[in-house]
């Protein structure tokens, strides 16, 4: 082993070049054991490339990456025994049964037939699939497929688990099922690297977050740190009359000098408010003079979405939940 | 959890490669056992061809040097079935890659050869069964091998050799494709390959340039060689390839393997999306 196990995942200056594209361009990451690290970033930011390198599926062009204390390029075999990968598709065999999947992959981890069978039983129980053990995954729901996928990743109880957009395209109920399973694994000491488009998912699961854009980490910290350091406080004004949205937006922009954003769902306008109370008083005064009727007003912390827009200049992928196309 | 040690030394590695390869091929075979409709569907075209060409068109086709058309036809259909196997292989490979199953295999501590080796073992088992079914079908319509027992076995061996070579072409193509749907589009591309050959008619009856292309077709080499070994009519032609089918029936698959085996293995090891 080349380093201490201070970090479960450690990369330094990772670069991956495809033709003219630098998918990763000096990517640095350090994840402590037993924590969940969320990788956030727009499409094409390099998140999946980083995961594929860390899983030994891709060779980096330059730089250094270690997983569970082993260099992913020089010691891929050791790394592969210590990781689980759950990618964007539920990578399960649709023809074998749920149990058949676990036994087959168990044998490929070189468990004996007996060990593989016993491990399959444990995992079916642990992931709530015991009743569906003898059914083919093509008859499973999206959430069940994903749990089987996670169970396969967990055959060796690996210290490091990679989840690449584990709930993309899932409805909210199935996403919660997956989150529950992930939390359970983390409570047993697993380190998780999670890439996601869904900022609420990162907020729910991650102990630390790294925001990735153009192949580098542009910000890192706990969700709370990111929200308070990068996103400033936000002033939210809910209007009584939806017709006032345009005027209210203009007034807020004028007062704060920052771009105010209107939300059409409820007639609401938000604006970053560095000077909390000062801004609040002025807004109330001017709205009163302009006869803009306010039904609610308040100051809150930024959401991760706002942090994300501020960092990358664009919103995260729209988070429309779609039931997985199975 | 117990951590299994890394195999040290060539003997241990070979043992693991065989274990992993067999585990994968058992899985690949299970797919066909559980979807018999797919296997029967794959045999439908050659079996229908026996009936359609053997009885409907057969009466209008002249066998060079004389002889029964169905005696001539069956080795052609055996060869065609081996060639169509390429689509079966490619489609199974791309189904796994598009679903992320291949990535899962590649992220596991398995022998690097296991996925492709397992695929080739499973495909050879299926090819042997397909061929056996078609031979029975041929016997039922009056075809028979007239050569010695050894020659008959050699003919079957040549057919399987062609299939084995095409497995690697199929794996390579399957790894290049992105969606299982694109694999079905391979069928119309393979069809001319099976038709511009000596499968159904003697190339001598085609326009000269097409006849020459047909005689140099790797599939024609195997078909002509098996006709010879089975003692069926219709051997010979106007090119060197047609006059030396046995040489070509060994040479062509060897060349295909030498080219596509390394391509397929390399593609598998370095593939990325």
A308 in a structural domain: no
If asked whether residues A292 and A207 sit together in one domain, one would say no
- Say what the pLDDT of residue A322 is: 35
User: pLDDT per residue over A151-194, tens digit each?
Assistant: 999 999 899 999 998 887 778 887 888 888 889 889 999 999 99
**Neighbour-count burial of A45, counting CB atoms closer than 10 A to its CB (0-12 exposed, 13-18 middle, 19+ buried):** buried
pLDDT above 90: residue A258: no
If asked whether residues A191 and A113 sit together in one domain, one would say yes
Query: Which backbone phi and psi does B6 adopt, to 5 degrees?
Result: -75, 130
B240 token code pair: 């060197």
- Say what the pLDDT of residue B49 is: 86
pLDDT above 90: residue B236: no
If asked whether residues A45 and A161 sit together in one domain, one would say yes
Q: Any idea what the CATH number is for the domain that residue A152 is in?
A: 3.40.50.300
Average per-residue pLDDT for chain A: 86
- Say what the pLDDT of residue A35 is: 95
State how far residue B5 is from chain A, nearest Cα, in angstroms: 9
How do strand A268-272 and strand A234-239 relate by DSSP bridges? antiparallel
A312 in a structural domain: no
If asked whether residues A267 and A145 sit together in one domain, one would say no
A316 in a structural domain: no
pLDDT above 70: residue A262: yes
Please give the tally of structural domains in chain A. Answer: 2
If asked whether residues A164 and A250 sit together in one domain, one would say no
pLDDT band, residue B5 (cuts 50/70/90): low
Give the C-alpha separation, A205 to A200, whole Å.
Answer: 9
- Say what the pLDDT of residue B4 is: 55
What would the DSSP string read from start to end of A121-157? Answer: HHHHHHTT-GGGTTS-GGGS-HHHHHHHHHHHHTTT-
If asked whether residues A43 and A186 sit together in one domain, one would say yes
A62 in a structural domain: yes
If asked whether residues A204 and A258 sit together in one domain, one would say no
Q: A52 vs B272: CB contact, 8 Å cut-off?
A: yes
Chosen for mutation from A74, A84, A95, A155 (greatest number of chain B CBs closer than 10 Å) is A95
Residues of B in contact with A87 (CB under 8 A): 100, 103-104
- Say what the pLDDT of residue A315 is: 67
Chosen for mutation from A60, A105, A108 (greatest number of chain B CBs closer than 10 Å) is A108
Average per-residue pLDDT for chain B: 90
Of the residues A228, A261, A276, the one at which a domain ends = A228
User: pLDDT per residue over B123-132, tens digit each?
Assistant: 999 999 999 9
As a whole number, mean pLDDT of residues A69-77 equals 93
A153 in a structural domain: yes
If asked whether residues A127 and A247 sit together in one domain, one would say no
pTM of the model as a whole: 0.82
The dihedral over CA atoms of A245, A250, A256, A262, expressed in degrees to the nearest 10, equals 30
User: ipTM for the complex?
Assistant: 0.87
If asked whether residues A172 and A283 sit together in one domain, one would say no
Any B CB within 8 A of A122 CB = no
If asked whether residues A206 and A239 sit together in one domain, one would say no
If asked whether residues A197 and A55 sit together in one domain, one would say yes
Longest dimension (CA), chain B: 71
User: pLDDT per residue over B69-120, tens digit each?
Assistant: 989 999 999 999 999 999 999 999 999 999 989 999 999 999 888 999 999 9
B220 token code pair: 């024609």
If asked whether residues A251 and A212 sit together in one domain, one would say no
Q: Any idea what the CATH number is for the domain that residue A272 is in?
A: 3.30.70.2190
Any B CB within 8 A of A56 CB = yes
**The domain containing residue A176 runs over which residues?**
9-228
Any A CB within 8 A of B30 CB = yes
């Amino acid at each position: 082993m080349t380093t201490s196990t201070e970090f479960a995942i450690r990369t330094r200056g990772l670069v991956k070049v495809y033709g003219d594209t630098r998918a990763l361009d000096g990517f640095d990451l350090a994840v402590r054991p037993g924590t969940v690290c969320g990788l956030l970033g727009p499409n094409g930011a390099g998140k999946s490339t980083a995961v594929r390198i860390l899983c030994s599926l891709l060779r980096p062009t330059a730089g250094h990456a270690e997983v569970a204390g082993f260099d992913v390029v020089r010691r891929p075999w050791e790394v592969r025994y210590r990781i689980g990968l759950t990618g964007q598709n539920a990578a399960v065999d649709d023809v074998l049964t749920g149990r058949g999947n676990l036994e087959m992959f168990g044998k490929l981890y070189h468990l004996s037939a007996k060990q593989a069978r016993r491990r399959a039983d444990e995992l079916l129980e642990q992931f709530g699939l015991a009743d569906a053990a003898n059914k083919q995954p093509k008859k499973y729901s999206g959430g069940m497929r994903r749990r089987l996928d996670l169970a396969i990743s967990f055959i060796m109880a690996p210290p490091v688990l990679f989840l690449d957009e584990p709930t993309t395209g899932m409805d909210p109920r199935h996403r919660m099922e997956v989150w529950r399973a992930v939390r359970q694994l983390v409570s047993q000491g697993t380190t998780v690297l999670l890439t996601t488009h869904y900022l609420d998912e990162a907020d729910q699961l991650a102990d630390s977050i790294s925001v990735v854009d153009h192949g580098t980490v542009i910000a890192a910290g706990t969700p709370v740190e990111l929200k308070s350091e990068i996103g400033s406080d936000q002033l939210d004004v809910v209007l009584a009359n939806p017709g006032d949205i345009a005027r209210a937006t203009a007034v807020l922009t004028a007062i704060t000098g920052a771009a105010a954003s209107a939300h059409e769902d409820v007639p609401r306008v938000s604006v970053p408010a560095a000077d909390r109370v000062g801004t609040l008083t002025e807004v109330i005064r001017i709205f009163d003079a302009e006869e803009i009727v306010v039904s609610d007003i308040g100051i809150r912390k930024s959401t991760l979405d706002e942090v994300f827009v501020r960092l990358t200049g664009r919103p995260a992928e729209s988070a429309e939940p779609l039931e997985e196309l199975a | 959890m117990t951590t299994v040690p890394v195999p040290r030394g060539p003997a241990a590695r070979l043992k693991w490669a065989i274990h992993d390869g067999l585990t994968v091929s058992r899985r690949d075979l299970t797919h066909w056992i559980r979807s018999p409709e797919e296997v029967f569907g794959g045999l439908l075209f050659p079996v229908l061809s026996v009936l359609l060409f053997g009885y409907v068109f057969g009466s209008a086709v002249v066998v060079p040097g004389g002889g029964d058309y169905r005696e001539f036809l069956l080795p052609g259909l055996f060869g065609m079935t081996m060639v169509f196997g390429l689509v079966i292989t490619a489609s199974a490979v791309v189904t796994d890659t598009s679903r992320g199953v291949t990535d899962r295999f590649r992220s596991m501590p398995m022998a690097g050869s296991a996925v492709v080796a397992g695929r080739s073992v499973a495909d050879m088992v299926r090819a042997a069964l397909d061929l056996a079914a078609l031979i029975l079908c041929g016997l039922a319509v009056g075809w028979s091998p007239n050569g010695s027992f050894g020659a008959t076995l050699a003919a079957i061996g040549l057919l399987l050799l062609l299939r084995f070579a095409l497995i690697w072409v199929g794996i390579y193509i399957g790894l290049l494709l992105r969606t299982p749907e694109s694999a079905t589009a391979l069928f119309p591309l393979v069809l001319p390959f099976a038709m511009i050959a000596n499968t159904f008619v003697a190339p001598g009856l085609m326009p000269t340039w097409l006849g020459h292309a047909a005689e140099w077709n790797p599939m024609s080499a195997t078909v002509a060689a098996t006709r010879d070994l089975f003692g069926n009519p219709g051997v010979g032609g106007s090119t060197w390839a047609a006059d030396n089918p046995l040489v070509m029936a060994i040479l062509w698959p060897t060349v295909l393997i030498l080219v596509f085996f390394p391509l397929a293995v390399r593609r598998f090891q370095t593939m990325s999306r």
